[in-house]
Amino acid sequence: MAHHLRKLTAAGAALATTALGLGLSLTGATPASAAAHTAHAFPVHTAYKTGVMPSASQSSRDAAVEKQYDSWKSTYLVHGCASNEYYVSTKGDSDAPNNGPVSEGQGYGMNIVPLMAGYDANAQTEFNGLWQLVKDHKDQYGLMQWKLDGKTCKYADSGTPDGATDGDLDVGYGLILADKQWGGYTADAKAWLAAFYAHDVAPDGHLKCEDDGPNTDTRPSDMMLDHLRAFAAYDTAHDWNKVISRTEAVIAEFTKGYSATGGLLSDFVVNANTTSPKPAPANYQEDQPDNIVGYNSIRVPWHLGTDALVYGGSQAAVSEATAKLESACLKKESGGNPQKVYPHTKLNCTAYSTSDQAEEAGDSVGPAAMAAGDQAWTDAIWKQLGSNPFQDGYFGETIKTLVTIVMAGDYWAP
């Protein structure tokens, strides 16, 4: 099943920024009383454990986050399907019928909104609405149905509804963020993590691609090691350290065999339950092809770079080492121009195709560039975040919002 079938040509017309939902607050300013109810009111200036920050001042970085959040919220955060629900629209990318939500986007929203609490006076109401939609659209395993129609709000794929691991991960992380921000979500978070562990984790500890999928494959864009470390600290009922160790081992084993100098991981990986994981066949799930970096694995340097920044080389040694390789590889491929980090890249650090361009490919390298300590490359990517050269839609603009929060230093570990 193609959980993340992406555009193969760059999007065209600029997206409107008018509100899609009912009752959305489009202003960022909040009264002081709103911030007083949050434990980590934005901006939270985090001193990362390694790497460099963009050269821009902290105040200008905070302002960039606020501007990007306002744009993202007004375009993609929808008040629906029910009066007590919100969802993240896939507008611009055709990932779901009628711009409906996918669990990946719902999880992104459940990360973004609590991180912006204290700036957005309605953050907790919006988070509760996002979570309500998840609760109202669970599959047989208690995880979110991965794709919904934007009009009917019903499952929008063939067969029995199932869940995608990336969305499930972000929903779980969002619940922990909300619990640390406002309190009151502990039971929900731990129940969700129990369902995730039971159905998205293979017996050996690696992450499956979906909750009803085989125990033999994995998708590197799901390797959100900072999330897994937060799960380990929060939920001692499950062996999350086993998941962390196996995820790091898959990264190390795969890159040693297939991208030793670049640290790149293909969109899908098979034989993940062995010590010899390898690229999936080219047409494994999405035919982008799946045996190289595509619209899934462009997210890997963002996730591994973030883990390295937040947890440092002592805890996140595999993430830091891999992020450094990926940063150098993609800088070389692009000649230091983030716009020329192509969405389809071979594991030897050369472009598979230069006909398809998308900003999210370059944006996602930002946290890895920071972790690598490359100031010029970091600054180039930070500068690109202030634009939208290829008119990216939901996927690119939502990734940009999270990357901007990380690169600004406003991302915190719950």
Radius of gyration of the chain (CA): 19
Catalytic residue among 104, 162, 211, 359: 104
What sections of 38-185 are H helices per DSSP? Answer: 58-76, 103-115, 123-135, 165-181
CA distance 352 to 369: 22
The beta strand positions in 306-365, using DSSP E, are none
CA dihedral 189, 166, 164, 241 (to 10 degrees): -60
Residue (of 374, 248, 226) closest to 302 by Cα position: 226
Tokens matching residue 230: 């937060």
H helix runs in 137-224, sequence order: 165-181, 186-200
Q: Whole-angstrom Cα distance, residue 46 to residue 73? A: 23
279 neighbors 352 (Cβ within 8 angstroms) = no
For residues 368 and 260, what is the distance between their CA atoms, to the nearest angstrom?
17
Task: Assign 372 to helix, strand or coil.
Answer: helix
Neighbours of 238 (CB within 10 A): 17
Q: Is 166 a catalytic site residue?
A: yes
Angle at 349 between CA 345 and CA 353, to 5 degrees: 30
CA 285 to CA 275: how far, in whole Å?
A: 22
Q: What is the DSSP string of 87-123?
A: EE--TTTTSSGGG--BHHHHHHHHHHHHHTBTTBTTH
**Which residue is catalytic, options 62, 85, 166, 200?**
166
SS3 166: helix
Cα separation, 244 vs 99, whole angstroms: 34
From CA 229, how far away is CA 356, in angstroms rounded? Answer: 35
Active site positions, annotated: 104, 166
